[in-house]
Structure 1
Amino acid sequence: MVYTNSGSYRFPDPQSPIPASKDPKMSFLQDLRQTPRLGLLVGGTAATIGIIYGYDLSNIAGALLFITKEFQLSTSQQELVTTAVVIGEVLGAVLGGWLANKLGRKACMVGVAGAYAAFAVLSALAADVPMLLVARLLLGLTIGISVVVVPVFVAESAPPKVRGALLVAYQVATVIGIIIGYLAAYVLSASENWRLMLGLAAVPALAVLAVTLRLPDTARWYMMRGRTEDARRTLSSIEPDADVDAELADMRRAISEERGGGLREMLRSPYLKATVFVVGLGFFIQITGINAVVYYSPRIFEAMGFTGNAALLLLPALVQAAALVAVFVSLSLVDRVGRRPILLGGIGMMIVANIILVAVFMVGRDFGGILTVVGFLGVLLFTVGFTFGFGALVWVYAGESFPARLRSLGASAMLTSDLVANVIVAAFFLTMLQRLGGAGTFAVFGALAVAGFVFVHRLAPETKGRNLEEIRHYWENGARWPEATGTTGSSTKPAAK
């Protein structure tokens, strides 16, 4: 069976197989060119919301240098300002799945963009620490909703051949947002204007809002709400050459067979294994420490002997520029090489980076010269490894791992787990750095990365080229691919293969 961008399924013509390209890059570009313009616009615009998320991750890192001076923040207060937004993200992720089904994928994204712009301005106007904490909590709430809704929206709007790439595009946008945030902080560092650093976050939010207002919701959601004519118009626009009536009939049948969609179903067979996988993956993505590097990289570089705003703000931007290259490589390979090799390769790089950082901090007494350079390269490799693997694949697995009735709730569970781990890291990293030192802190992250590698190796399915219906049958078959499924001709094999 073949998954259409409507979320329905139909059998392909067995006489017309799609040949595999020998050149992944060229095939990837060809797939993009063959995708209808509206399909790319829908997926691309949704993914661009990642710019908002990325900007917030990094601009607080720069702004915190100057907020600390103005409000005389202690270490624990700095952690609280950073963690407030993450606590809000957890609440948003919990609500995101329900809101996506109740209000629609598009309505949620419009609300996210508009609310984020308003709360960014509120952060900039904060007169004291409590007001800043409330504003950042509300910012986090909107971000938490977005990280649940966007993967669902893209998964239901994109054709299988570019679905993985468009899901990874969210991470591309996130990294771009991180870079912009660091650069904005550097440009404004001379004036120490942290209010403008935070307020500028409203600009990308308003830009995304303007484009998102013009997009349709997914045909799948329209059908779930009984809005057949809206679904028909959306399908006709995204797939002008498709048999719309046949796709709507298939979709209607699939939805009627997929009644339910509650949390109880996720916690019992056959989807319990899928739930364990996505919740565990979400937790390992953050507990391995990436946002400690993003939020506090100026402090990490300061501990390595770097000084001055240029070093403390431009070096993190340089690290993220390298990460952007890595995520583009991941984007071009995810639908060709596969999910598992990319994910395991990225985690492997993080493990090596942690070993380097532990060694640097163990040897380092007075940082400088080659030792400082090696420390910088360790942070660089850590970030590149994360972005190439965990960072890119979280959005793919969040959008692929559950059938339609559970997809938004599954994404919500995964991202909630992710954000809970993020709260832990954001709340305790500076304290760990002070009490355990750099060597002890990165030794902890290294051990967690090893545990994450083992978890992924044993439980992550290879979903490259599989339609969403096949992935559903994988979990229903006890985390094994049924024999002769779809067009892939895969034989029964265990989940780790």
Structure 2
Amino acid sequence: MPASPRVSPRLAQEIGDRSSRTPSYTQLQASPSEAATQEQDQPIDWIITSLLFLFPALGGLLFGYDIGATSGAIVSLKSAATSGTTWYALSSLQSGLAVSAGLLGALAGSGGAFAFGEKLGRRRELLLASVCYGVATLLTCTAGGYAQLIVGRVIYGLGIGFAMHAAPAYIAETTPARVRGLLISLKEGMIVVGILLGYLASSQFIDSVGGWRYMYGLSLLPAVMLGAGMLWLPESPRWLLLSGASEEVATADCCRTRGQYGRDEGAVRGEVAEMAATMQASRRSTDEAGFAALFSGRNLRPLTIGMSLMLFQQITGQPSVLYYATEIFEKAGFASQADASKVSVGLGFFKLVMTGLAVLTVDSWGRRPLLLLGVSLLTVALVALSAVNSFLPASSPTATWTSVVALLLYVGAYQASFGPISWLMVGEVFPLAVRGPAAALASLTNFGSNFLVSLVLPTVQDNLGLGLTYAIFAGIGLVSLVTIYNIVPETRGKTLEEIEALWDKDE
């Protein structure tokens, strides 16, 4: 068991009687604690902070790279001229499984993270992700048959599941509060960078014999970098306390996360003491309720926030809108079918720019304003797409250009809101005592809803038509907007312990 925390009288009084402490939402937004004020004043060692972000974020880059590379790899693999195999004549079911096997693996990885992620810890889970990525890449790019390809795709998906569960928590728990939003949102930017790199690799090797092997094989280098980086980086001090390590051990790793400014061990010990006190108070109520604690009391609202954001991120139309993106651009005269990969690259750059806007403003504007504004705009875009496809002739220039503008508005609004901020909130809102399993449930919700939407979307579109399909997505957008307005708080600039205190009034 961890040593008894050394806590200031102020903090002891604050934590000692949680039942009488019910701060209002307004008070918590307006009045940062002494701990937060001190942390805001601390200088940041940008070298170590950048590394604490960069190596875990490679897990997201590899996720995005797989999305972009697979778009070209499946075309290369199925072509008699470029496959370089005797088993290129894949059926629709086989090619669909080759694409979706990674998603099935990600679901399994999220389930594994739920089952034993807390025992592994953030650092070792990211190491496991790097191993999965590396082994899967070798299996896939050397595949001598369809079965080996699918096995490699599933193992790669396992890496995605572990990485997307552990990376937000690791970054949130090891980086300073005032740049936490910037860095976790930037992780989403790394996913988009990965998508772009995958598209570029596809464009480069699409005409080469066996080009799909090169597309997949290029992911080996970042997989090795992820593993090497996590071998060198420290474990999350907060997870160490949760796992039962002493404050001395947690303090040593916390000093490493502060870089040159961690030499003042006394100040770091004070931070660790506050972490330990908050964690122990949270853990007592969680241990008493067991697994049911995830769905009750102070944990229910953050779990609802995390899972609902992950759900709405996937069911507000992104697959449908992006599926028809190339067709919309072709009708506008921007590209022929042969130039579809270039259109994808251009759209990817636009996604990256809009993600960068969210990254640069999330710690100044705040999470709630970006979510509310972005979801409002993407809902307007969905209404416009619904109207165009319901009431205007498909060949009409007005319909074509309205669709182009609505598409760009949707993509931009999504990348400035749901895209980065959903994962950011998952990294922030969960109390430490349940952060691992709660984040795993959120990841399961994300990948599960993604899989279901991808599965049923073609049938829905065939039976209802694009106009009504977009109208349904617009309705879901309105529901998500109301949900965000009512349950999502502002967490900008708060320590993780302060965010945890937001949920005390729900006990």
Check whether TM > 0.5: yes
How far is 1:111 from its partner? 1.7
User: In 2, Cα distance between the equivalents of 1:423 and 1:16?
Assistant: 40
Map 1:97-246; keep pairs closer than 5 Å. 97-191=114-208, 193-228=211-246, 229-239=248-258, 240=262, 241=264, 243-246=267-270
Partner deviation per Cα, 1:414-453 (whole Å, 9 max, x = no partner) = 1111111100122233444444443343333222222222
Alignment of 1:262-273 (within 5 A): 262-273=290-301
How has the CA–CA distance of structure 1 residues 203 and 462 changed in structure 2, closer, same or farther, with 3 Å as cutoff?
A: same
Question: Which amino acid in the other structure matches residue 369 of structure 2?
Answer: P
Q: Tell me the distance in 1 between the aligned counterparts of 2:339 and 2:396.
A: 13
Q: Does structure 2 retain, via aligned residues, the 8 Å contact 1:279–1:413?
A: yes
Which stretch shifts more, 389-398 or 223-232?
Answer: 223-232
Cα distance change, pair 124–16 in 1 and its aligned pair in 2 (3 A): closer
5 Å matches for 1:363-374? 367=395, 371-374=399-402
Paired residues of 1:47 and 1:166 also in contact (CA < 8 A): no
Query: Counterparts of 2:329 and 2:100 in 1: how far apart (Å)?
Result: 21
Using the TM superposition, give the Cα deviation of residue 146 of structure 1 relative to its aligned residue in structure 2, in angstroms: 1.0
Matches for 1:351-366 after TM superposition, within 5 Å: 351-362=379-390
What is the distance in 2 between the residues matched to 1:157 and 1:444?
40
Offset at residue 103 of structure 1 (A): 1.7
Which amino acid in structure 2 is aligned with residue 144 of structure 1? G
Question: Offset of 1:14 from its aligned partner?
Answer: 6.2
Conserved 8 A contact 2:331-2:400: no
Residues 135 and 152, structure 2, Cα contact 8 Å, conserved in 1: no
Segments of structure 2 that go 5 or more residues without pairing to the other structure are 1-6, 12-31, 81-87
1:485 paired residue number: none
Mapped partners of 2:357, 2:235: distance in 1: 30
2: CA distance between counterparts of 1:343 and 1:13? 25
Deviates most, 420-429 or 121-130: 121-130
Measured in 2, the distance between the counterparts of 1:130 and 1:299 equals 33
Contact kept, 8 Å, 1:357 with 1:439, in 2: the verdict is: yes
Opposite residue 238 of structure 1, the aligned amino acid is: T
2:343 to 301, 315, 319: 315
Residue 333 of structure 1: aligned partner: 361
Counterpart Cα distance in 2 of 1:388 and 1:13: 29
Paired residues for 1:44-63 under 5 Å: 44-63=54-73
Paired with 1:455 and 1:256, the residues of 2 have a C-alpha distance of: 31
Measured in 2, the distance between the counterparts of 1:435 and 1:470 equals 49
Output the CA distance in 2 between the equivalents of 1:438 and 1:68. Answer: 29
Q: What stretches of structure 1 of length at least 5 have no aligned partner?
A: 1-7, 21-29, 480-497
Tell me whether 1:401 sits opposite 2:429 in the alignment. yes
Q: Which moved more, 1:215-224 or 1:76-85?
A: 76-85
Tell me whether 1:284 sits opposite 2:312 in the alignment.
Answer: yes
Do the aligned residues in 2 keep the contact of 1:98 with 1:408 (CA within 8 Å)?
no
What secondary structure is seen at the aligned counterpart in 1 of 2:430?
coil
Q: Contact conserved, 2:335 with 2:343, CA < 8 A, in 1?
A: no
Change (3 A) 1:16 1:384: closer
Match of 1:248 in 2: 272
User: Which residue type is aligned with residue 501 of structure 2?
Assistant: H
Alignment CA distance shift 1:360-1:306 (3 Å): farther
Q: CA deviation at 1:245?
A: 3.0
Distance verdict in 2 for CA 1:417–1:213, change over 3 Å? same
| CA deviation after TM superposition for structure 1 residue 168, in Å | 0.6
**How many percent identity over aligned positions?**
29
Q: Distance in 1 between matches of 2:332 and 2:326?
A: 10
1:438 aligns with 2:460: no
Deviation at 1:18, TM superposition (A): 8.0
Measured after TM superposition, the shift of residue 310 of structure 1 is 5.3
Classify 1:451/1:255 alpha carbon distance in 2 versus 1 (closer, same or farther; 3 Å): closer
Q: Which has the higher helix share?
A: 2
Give the letter aligned to residue 425 of structure 1.
V
- SS of equivalent residue, structure 1 residue 244: helix
Quote the Cα distance in structure 1 between the aligned partners of 2:343 and 2:227: 31
Check the 8 A contact 1:80/1:427 in 2, yes or no: no
2:14 corresponding residue in structure 1: none
Distance 1:333 1:470 in 2: 21
Sort the Cα spacing of 1:212 and 1:397 in 2 relative to 1 into closer, same or farther, 3 A: same
Q: Which residue of 2 aligns with 1:81?
A: 98
Residue equivalent to 2:417: 389
TM-score where L is the length of structure 1: 0.83
Give the TM-score normalised by structure 2: 0.81
**Once the 2 structures are TM-superposed, how far is the Cα of residue 67 of structure 1 from its aligned partner?**
3.7
Aligned to 2:450: 422
Q: Which residue of 1 aligns with 2:15?
A: none
| Among candidates 60, 64, 75, match of residue 74 of structure 2 | 64
Once residues 409 and 236 of structure 1 are traced to their aligned partners in structure 2, the CA distance between those partners, rounded to angstroms, is: 27
Q: Distance in 2 between matches of 1:310 and 1:251?
A: 56
CA RMSD of aligned residues (A): 3.3
Instruction: Classify 1:57/1:13 alpha carbon distance in 2 versus 1 (closer, same or farther; 3 Å).
Output: closer
Amino acid of the structure 1 residue aligned with 2:475: A
Deviations 1:5-62 (A, max 9, x none): xxx9996996996899xxxxxxxxx99x734532332123222321111111222222
Q: Give the letter for the 2:456 counterpart.
A: F
SS in 1 for 2:143: coil
- Displacement after TM superposition at 1:79 (Å): 3.8
- Sort the Cα spacing of 1:378 and 1:196 in 2 relative to 1 into closer, same or farther, 3 A: farther
Query: C-alpha distance in 1, partners of 2:188/2:424?
Result: 10
Q: How far did residue 286 of structure 1 move? A: 0.8
Q: Determine whether 1:464 maps to 2:492.
A: yes
User: How many residues are treated as equivalent by the alignment?
Assistant: 463
Q: CA deviation at 1:292?
A: 4.9
The amino acid across from 2:53 in the alignment is: G
User: What SS class does the counterpart of residue 417 from structure 2 fall into?
Assistant: helix
Matched residue type, 1:225: S
For residues 368 and 16 of structure 1, the distance between their equivalents in structure 2, rounded to whole angstroms, comes to 56
Distance 2:396 2:69 in 1: 27
